[in-house]
Structure 1
Amino acid sequence: MRTDSETSRGTTTLVLLRHGETALTPEKRLSGSGGSDPALSETGRRQAEAVGRTLAAHGTVRAVVSSPLRRARQTAETAARRLGLEVHVDDGLREADFGTWEGLTFAEVRERHPHEMAAWLASPAAVPGGTGERFTAVARRAARSRDRLLARYEGQTVLVVSHVVVLRTLIRLALGAPPASLFRMELSAASLSAVAYHGDGTATVRKLNDTSHLADLR
């Protein structure tokens, strides 16, 4: 049942931007919060500029919030300059920690740790790389960050710059999809997705893995 206060609230839109490429991205290597924190590559910097131009042309973003990791902050700062906004950092948006799997490809992990990989793919409660972060823990902190943003920027459009696991998690939660759906979403480097959160507590995924703004870079 909707209350009067719920129906009077506006829609808050989170525009979800995966950071631009790093040297590890083209090789599809696991790059979480427990690794080397790589910077954007030259391609990644050009991608961030392209995102900034596109968002500035739309003129709807009113705030920029980023993961604390370098590749996300660099992407956010580049876009924010185009938007004339400051970057706010939220630690809950950092990437998952993949433990000893950091820097490896999926194929390398499957070859070296087949049973651990199978368990990780099967259960969000499994620990990656022996010391990494469970997807259940990522979901909790991503949801807390989402709730902070919705309270702080009610009725506005916010650019959220983060990483593939966190952004997939936010989309999964909006859809009410099972954890296994995390492995069934493609979120390319510097891609844009969007989730609208309505005053009645519902959420709508309005965009997924849009890379049209990168067409001139290909």
Structure 2
Amino acid sequence: MDQAPTTLVLVRHGVTDHTTGKRFSGGLAGADPGLSEEGRQQVRSVGEWLAPTADRIDAIVTSPVRRTRESAEILGSMLGREVAEEPGFAEMDFGAWDGLTFEEVAEQHREDLEAWYGSVDAAPGGTGESLRTVEERVLAARDRCLTEHAGRTVVLVSHVTPIKTLLAHTLEAPLQSLYRMELAPASVSVLSHWPAQDERGPWAAVRLLNALPPDRAWLGEPPRW
């Protein structure tokens, strides 16, 4: 693997009122809340943490959803990079669950919830996206990103489900593993992809997982990848 990898620095957006209220918050078809002031400060902390590596960052790509776009614009202004949108990295559509808490979904949509936990092909809220559908569009978006930015480092601002999907696929873990992952708001995970070595596609490795800037965790130096 003597060729330079394409590195994706995965940043989850900062918190919104839905995040702190523990409400399902989907993609463009949902309520589309913006960042709270706490969320903006979380993203600024990520920008300060990434700043020493800014000369190694070639591009910023974001989901078009409001909270991710706002997060990406903050990072773009701090890192001196333009922001490009990729719709394939939007959060999953939760259908009728959007804006509801888990308890409200359990009360109002019990059968849908049980079906969703039982199958990656079940669509939440009746009209939402299944995890399988999200996986297909996220991996297609990843492939477009790897082609466009081959051999470079990209900050990718996205959501819980798409980022977990990328992590699960890199680890060759089943899609159900998304239910067992925790991903904090404004956390940073890093994946590196090398050109295809066999029929399975690009070889990839997880370099960092669910890391937080030093003012929110134990880290005291810039992220390494």
TM-score w.r.t. structure 1 length? 0.92
Match for residue 188 of structure 2 among 179, 188, 192: 192
Is 2:120–2:132's contact at 8 Å kept on the other side of the alignment? yes
Q: What count of residue pairs does the alignment treat as equivalent?
A: 210
Match for residue 106 of structure 1 among 95, 99, 102: 102
Mapping of residues 50-129 of structure 1, within 5 Å: 50-59=45-54, 60-129=56-125
Partner-residue secondary structure (3-state), 2:113: helix
Q: Take 1:75 and 1:214, find their aligned partners in 2: how far apart are those partners? A: 18
What residue identity is the alignment partner of 1:58?
T
Q: Take 1:206 and 1:193, find their aligned partners in 2: how far apart are those partners? A: 7
Partner-residue secondary structure (3-state), 2:17: coil
- Which runs of 5 or more residues in structure 2 are unaligned? 218-225
Is 1:47–1:214's contact at 8 Å kept on the other side of the alignment? no
Partner-residue secondary structure (3-state), 1:202: strand
Match for residue 128 of structure 2 among 93, 116, 132: 132
Q: Take 1:38 and 1:179, find their aligned partners in 2: how far apart are those partners? A: 27
Partner deviation per Cα, 1:58-83 (whole Å, 9 max, x = no partner): 23221100000110011001001111
TM-score w.r.t. structure 2 length? 0.89
Is 1:122–1:180's contact at 8 Å kept on the other side of the alignment? no
- The RMSD of aligned alpha carbons is 1.3
Q: Take 2:216 and 2:43, find their aligned partners in 1: how far apart are those partners? A: 13
Q: Take 2:105 and 2:215, find their aligned partners in 1: how far apart are those partners? A: 31
Q: Take 2:185 and 2:21, find their aligned partners in 1: how far apart are those partners? A: 12
1:14 aligns with 2:15: no
The Cα of 1:25 is off from its aligned counterpart by 0.6
The corresponding residue for 2:40 is 45
Q: Take 2:21 and 2:66, find their aligned partners in 1: how far apart are those partners? A: 19
The Cα of 1:118 is off from its aligned counterpart by 1.2
Mapping of residues 175-190 of structure 1, within 5 Å: 175-190=171-186
1:30 aligns with 2:31: no
What residue identity is the alignment partner of 1:159?
V
Partner-residue secondary structure (3-state), 2:19: coil
Is 2:46–2:213's contact at 8 Å kept on the other side of the alignment? no
What residue identity is the alignment partner of 2:101?
T
Q: Take 2:158 and 2:122, find their aligned partners in 1: how far apart are those partners? A: 22
Partner-residue secondary structure (3-state), 2:42: helix
The Cα of 1:135 is off from its aligned counterpart by 1.1
Partner deviation per Cα, 1:136-163 (whole Å, 9 max, x = no partner): 1110110011001111111111000011
Identity of aligned residues (%): 46
Point out the more displaced range, 117-126 or 102-111: 102-111
The Cα of 1:48 is off from its aligned counterpart by 1.3
Q: Which runs of 4+ in 1 moved over 3 A?
A: none
